[in-house]
Chain A
Amino acid sequence: MKQKNHTVIELIVNNHPGVMSHITGLFSRRGYNLEGILCGAIGQGATSVMFLLVRKNEQYQQVLLQLNKLNDVIELKEREDYDHTVFNRIGDLF
């Protein structure tokens, strides 16, 4: 996978069974591209961190704004500094 023009959005979200649907559903119903997703519980397990690999196209600002509106999103950071290759290494699992 080429990683040019990609960036990573880091989300801190409430950790419950429906939160993943809220995030991925937003991408599918608004026609945004989601290239990769990594997620895991943090701390005592009440919250999770999510890394979303997305393309930086004309929709990108809208993606950020819509994600920010979700009630389960506690914090949103743009991670320009993130090492995208972590998503490539997921391939090692298959």
Chain B
Amino acid sequence: MKYSGAEIIVHLLEKKGIDTIAGIPGSANLPLYRALHDSKIKHVLARHEQGAGFIAQGMARSTGKAAVCFATSGPGATNLLTAIADAKLDSVPVVAFTGQVATSLIGTDAFQEIDTYGLTIPITKHNFLVRSAAELLDVIPEAFRIAETGRPGPVVIDVPKDVQQQVCEFGQWPGFHEPTKPQVIEKQLIDKIAQAIHYAVKPVIMFGAGIIESGSCQLLRLLAEKNNIPLTSTMRGLGAISPEHPLYVGMIGMHGTKYANRITEEADLILALGLRFDDRATGKVSEFCRNAQIIHVDIDKAEINKIKPAFMSVNADLHDFLSLLIPSVDKKERREWLDECYETKDALPYVVAPLNGDVFHPLRIIDEVAASIPADSIITTDVGQHQMWVAMKYPITSPRTFLTSGGLGTMGFGVPTAIGAALANPGKKVVAFSGDGSFMMNMQELATIADEKPNMAILLFNNGTLGLVRQQQELFFDKKYIGSKFKSTPDFAGIAKCFGLKSIDLEKVSDPLGALHEALQLNEPVFINVPVNADENVFPMVPPGAANKVMID
């Protein structure tokens, strides 16, 4: 067989089952696009490479499978970096192909040359600079294996233009490796953990995205129910269990529930499953759960003992771990501990929208959206106050339906990620909650939405400020506001309309909630502007650097 490097890439992507690729062509990846032209893979033309990266993330986060994006060399690659870094921090399997100048030009400061390999070392799980077409036969299956195995993560494959064009003769196509299953778990360790749970008086399960990644949501529920252990989630764990579950005490951390933080603080045993003790979840680490023994289970061995020393730890796939642990754990009522939890919960009621107040209060709008769309709809957010309100209030009931930038906290994430999620889940409704600050960081993707017409709504919480910045300046920087209020705000609904989208400004209609409900029933893209009071703060909140027990409201 004889194929060019570009043809090898496209053929192997087809073989891997990739059906949609987001990207932007440019000089250094034109051979790749030539090969893509003859493929059945659908190409989604983004308007900025960061948008392409987040579209890939939307596909990957909502399906759990690796997704692909393309960018050219130089500025194409640098524009991708934020989306790649975001995927690294949240462990999302994205495989990005970047064009590179021809091998003979590398190192000469050629036109649109940048050291993509060097730039992406710290923000990828692994990266490759491919030096011959033949190498692609190894590199591509290996890249997908790395992206999807163990703790997932992004991989960048930088392919010089001449390598894309080089013709390679070879005997047969390589296969794709099945993601390898990791370590065996010793039965003895399982017994010890079961015993520790048995003797614990106030155990709490704290879970993160690892539960969702490993497909262990059912097992998590079974474990909690069998031994009656209260559960708290990190932000990225939302959706692993129904918020209505009686044992669930809500999200932990800076904008978590007061009772989740209080109950976790009371615990004598923390079963930490698939999480990495991020500072937004733990608050001041030295103060976090000082009276609790921690049993940490994670697929990434380097996360164990990184932040919080573990009393016992298991480096394993959570599905394997929970399958072994559940039969070993005894049934328990835990009446006293649960009563204490319920009392704490009743004593510290959770935030609700003011009953007779502002119809545009974000919590009220979130309730209205949740009541208007199917429960399995996919919700994306940008970053800021609206993100915290959604994380607090939106009833996320199933895994992979809440896509948010947790680790990197990237403004501009929500809209392109929603496009990717909608493309990968054609039967589902997708709603992107955004703020006016975040939205403007990737609003060019409205054009991509106009092209593709995904079934998605953008809900813009428009307060004319960088709200979470303004809030911190109010609370912790002497109310000296600088750089947090926009001097001018555009007519966002008008902008969306000019891009060719249906749009509605709730400020300008007589029945805003009725109009909102109606707009969400459309099976086409719609943009909804919601005027939000700029003085509104997200409470409760743990001040940055403080312990979780110091919540203010």
Q: Which A-chain residue is minimally distant from B315 (CB atoms)?
A: A65
Report whether A18 and B121 are in contact in the complex, using a CB–CB cutoff of 8 Å: yes
**Known contacts A18-B117, A61-B305; A69/B300 CB under 8 A:** yes
Instruction: Give the complex CA separation of A2 and B540 in angstroms.
Output: 52
- Against B, the Cβ 8 Å flags (1 = close, 0 = not) of A51-92 are 000000000011001101111100000000000000000000
Kindly list chain A residues whose C-beta atoms are within 8 Å of the C-beta of B306.
62
A interface size (C-beta, 8 A): 15
Segment at the B interface, from A5-13, A21-29, A33-41, A42-50 = A21-29
Report whether A65 and B129 are in contact in the complex, using a CB–CB cutoff of 8 Å: no
Report whether B126 and A18 are in contact in the complex, using a CB–CB cutoff of 8 Å: no
Q: What 8 A-B pairs come out closest when comparing CB atoms?
A: A65-B302, A71-B126, A25-B121, A29-B122, A66-B302, A18-B117, A65-B301, A21-B121
Within B293-308, the residues touching A (CB, 8 Å) are 300-302, 305-306
Report whether A69 and B302 are in contact in the complex, using a CB–CB cutoff of 8 Å: yes
> Smallest Cβ distance from A34 to chain B, in angstroms?
15
Q: Does B146 sit within 8 A of A, measured CB to CB?
A: yes
Q: Does B118 sit within 8 A of A, measured CB to CB?
A: yes
**Known contacts A62-B302, A66-B302; A18/B122 CB under 8 A:** no
Instruction: Give the complex CA separation of A25 and B127 in angstroms.
Output: 13
> Smallest Cβ distance from B139 to chain A, in angstroms?
11
B-side interface size class? 10 to 19
Q: Which A-chain residue is minimally distant from B122 (CB atoms)?
A: A29
> Smallest Cβ distance from A83 to chain B, in angstroms?
29
Instruction: Give the complex CA separation of A72 and B305 in angstroms.
Output: 24
Report whether B129 and A18 are in contact in the complex, using a CB–CB cutoff of 8 Å: yes
> Smallest Cβ distance from B130 to chain A, in angstroms?
11
Instruction: Give the complex CA separation of A22 and B120 in angstroms.
Output: 10
Report whether B305 and A25 are in contact in the complex, using a CB–CB cutoff of 8 Å: no
Kindly list chain A residues whose C-beta atoms are within 8 Å of the C-beta of B127.
18
Instruction: Give the complex CA separation of A66 and B126 in angstroms.
Output: 13
> Smallest Cβ distance from B152 to chain A, in angstroms?
13
Q: Which B-chain residue is minimally distant from A63 (CB atoms)?
A: B302
> Smallest Cβ distance from B466 to chain A, in angstroms?
28
Instruction: Give the complex CA separation of A62 and B306 in angstroms.
Output: 7
> Smallest Cβ distance from A87 to chain B, in angstroms?
25
Q: Which A-chain residue is minimally distant from B158 (CB atoms)?
A: A18
Q: Which B-chain residue is minimally distant from A18 (CB atoms)?
A: B117
Report whether B121 and A68 are in contact in the complex, using a CB–CB cutoff of 8 Å: no
> Smallest Cβ distance from B407 to chain A, in angstroms?
15
Instruction: Give the complex CA separation of A70 and B124 in angstroms.
Output: 11
> Smallest Cβ distance from A69 to chain B, in angstroms?
6
**Known contacts A62-B302, A68-B301; A21/B126 CB under 8 A:** no
> Smallest Cβ distance from B25 to chain A, in angstroms?
26
- Against A, the Cβ 8 Å flags (1 = close, 0 = not) of B474-518 are 000000000000000000000000000000000000000000000
